[in-house]
Each structure stands twice: as C-alpha cells, then as structure tokens.
Amino acid sequence: MAKMNGFDKMNLAGLKDLRTRIDKTIAEREQTERVQLKKKVEAMVAAAGMSLDDLIGKAPRKGRPVAVKYRNPKNAEQTWTGRGRPPRWLADAVKKGAKRESFLV
C-alpha cells in the first residue's frame, strides 16, 4: 500500500478527527459555492429582466388538505379521502359484499 504523506503514521483517533474536519470543511465549501452560484444566476436572470420564478417556476404547494370522502361506520376515526390505495377496513368490507358508496360521508 502506498504511503500518503504521513497518514500511515497517524493513530486512529487522529485520522478520524482529520476526516471529521475535512467533512465539515467540504460541507461548508459546498454551501458557500451554492450561495455564490445562486447569486450569479440571479444576477444573470435579473440582467435579462426576469426573476428566478419566471425562469424555473414556483415550487408546487404541498400538504393541501383533502376532504374526507369515506368513513368507517364502526369507527368514525377511520377515514379515507378516496386517493391512493383504499384502507384495509374499506377493502375488507367491499370483499365481504358491501358497496363502497355506503361508506360515503
């Protein structure tokens, strides 16, 4: 194994400390460069008479509440919006012959 500038002479604790310091420095440098790049891009976009939102659009809104569409009559706390996979309580009831419409709110 090739020797690497004295690292082979460092003890384990020293190597781990060095790695921690390097990882921290890398994370700080990445953040700094990200901020600088964003400023450069914003300046270029502003020089073109636009904003970043004009260029890339706004982020979609997340977490919009959806109204409950189905409710378990045996346990009113069990609800379903009608999106995604049906909950087990509804799927089991439908398998037993119940109509999904009978669980509408």
- The yes-or-no verdict on residue 103 having pLDDT over 60 is yes
Question: Which of 75, 76, 72 lies closest to 98 in space, CA to CA?
Answer: 72
Q: Are 79 and 71 in contact (CB under 8 A)?
A: yes
Q: Is the pLDDT of residue 4 over 70?
A: no
Contact in structure between 14 and 7 (CB atoms under 8 Å): no
pLDDT-derived band at 3, boundaries 50, 70, 90: low
Find the mean pLDDT for residues 33-42.
94
Tell me how far apart the alpha carbons of residues 69 and 88 are, in angstroms, rounded to a whole number: 15
DSSP 8-state symbol, 7: G
Average pLDDT, the chain: 90
Tell me the per-residue pLDDT of 41-75, one tens digit each, with 9 for 90 and over: 999 999 999 888 888 877 777 778 889 999 999 99
Q: What is the pLDDT of residue 8?
A: 87
Is pLDDT at 32 greater than 80 in this prediction?
yes
